[in-house]
Copies of this chain bind each other. A is one copy, B any other.
Amino acid sequence: MSIRVGIVGYGNLGRGVEAAIAQNRDMELVAVFSRRDPASVRIVSSNVKVDSVDNLDNYVSSIDVLILCGGSATDLPEQTKQYAKQFNVVDSFDTHANIPQHFAEVNASAKAAGKVAVISVGWDPGMFSLNRLYAEAILPMGETYTFWGKGVSQGHSDAIRRINGVRDAKQYTVPVESALEAVRSGQNPLLTTRQKHTRVCFVVAEEGADTAVIEKEIVTMPNYFADYDTTVHFISQEQLQREHGGIPHGGFVIRSGKTGPQSEHNHVIEYRLKLDSNPEFTACVLVACARAANRLSKEGVSGCKTIFDIAPSYLSAATQEELIKNLL
C-alpha cells in the first residue's frame, strides 16, 4: 500500500514536494493544503485535491504523513507542533539557533499524540549535518569546514531589495576556490569569513537611482555584506530574469583529519552538492524522510526526530535484501 502524503503550503517547496512524490512509486499525494482560498490554488497534479488547512481534521485517517512546506520564520514554529498533534509530520525548519526549542515543543506534541515528527531536514540542515556527523565520528582528530554555493541566498537578495532605489536583486554566495583547495590539501587552515566566501550581487536599480550610493549601501551592510568581498553588477530587469531566474545552490562539507600512532596520516572526506534547484532538492529530502516517518510510526515510535536519529535504510523504498545486494 502506498504511503499517503499531504502537503501543507504550496510555494516553491510545496511544488517541489509534489514533483518528488510523483517520482517515488511507493508514495501517493492525497491533497495539498493552503491557507489561501483552495479555488485560487492551481497545482500540477490534475487528480489531487486542494483543500483549506482548516479542513485538515477531515484527513486524519486518510493521510499517513504531512509534509510541512512553510517558512521557518513564522509558519513552522507554529505549524509543526500543532499538526504533530494529529499527524506524522516532516519539516525543513532551518533557523539554527531555535532548533533546540523547536525540537522540544514538537517533541512534546508528537509524544503526547503518539506521532512521529521529523524536523530540520533538507540539505543544510540535513544532508550537510549528516556528513558533518559521520565525518567527525570517523575522524575525531580533525577540522570540519562547510562552504556554501555557488548559489542564490534568498535572505541576502531580500536585504538588497529593501534598499532605497533597488527594484530587484539576486545575490550569489560563492566559495573561494583557494580556500577550498587549502582545506582539501589537509592543511586545516584557519579561515576568516572573508576568506571563505565572496558575494556577487545582480541589482536592478529604479530609474534615476544613484547606483554608487546603492553599491556603497550594499557592500557596507553589517552582517550581510560588510565582512565579505562583495561585487555589485547593475543590470536590467530583463537580464535579471533571463540570466538569474533560477534558484541554484549547493556547497561543500569537508573534514580533514589525522590517524596513526603518530598522527602521521591525513584523510580528507568531502561531500559536495551542486543543485539546479534548491527547493526541489530540499523537497526530495523531505519526501525521503516522510517515508522514514511513516515506517517509524508503524513500528510504534513517537516523538521528534532529526536526520541523526533515523537509520539510513528507513529513507529508502528498497528492501533490506535489495539494499545489501545493490548498494552495500
Interface residues of A (CB under 8 A from B): 15-16, 18-20, 22-24, 44, 96, 99-100, 103, 120, 125, 127, 129-134, 136-141, 184, 259-261, 265-277, 280-281, 283-285, 288, 291, 306-313, 315-317, 320-321, 323-325, 327-328
Contacts and interface: CB of A to CB of B under 8 A. Distances in A.
Contacts of A271: 131, 269-272
Nearest to A129: B328
A311 B311 CA distance: 4
A48 to B, nearest CB: 13
B308 A310 contact: no
B276 A266 contact: yes
Contact of A324 (B99, B266, B269): B99
A95 to B, nearest CB: 12
8 contacts: A19-B260, A23-B259, A99-B328, A100-B324, A127-B269, A133-B315, A268-B274, A270-B272
Main secondary structure of the interface of A (DSSP, over half): helix
Nearest to A275: B267
B127 A20 contact: no
A321 B100 contact: yes
Contacts of A291: 137
Given A259-B283, A269-B272, A270-B271, 6 more contacts: A15-B261, A16-B259, A19-B260, A132-B327, A137-B291, A267-B276
Contacts of A274: 184, 267-268, 270
A130 B134 contact: yes
Contact of A120 (B16, B283, B328): B328
Given A285-B138, A312-B133, A273 B280 contact: no
A169 to B, nearest CB: 22
Contacts of A270: 270-274
Residue of A22, A259, A268 contacting most chain B CB atoms (<10 Å) = A259
B316 A19 contact: no
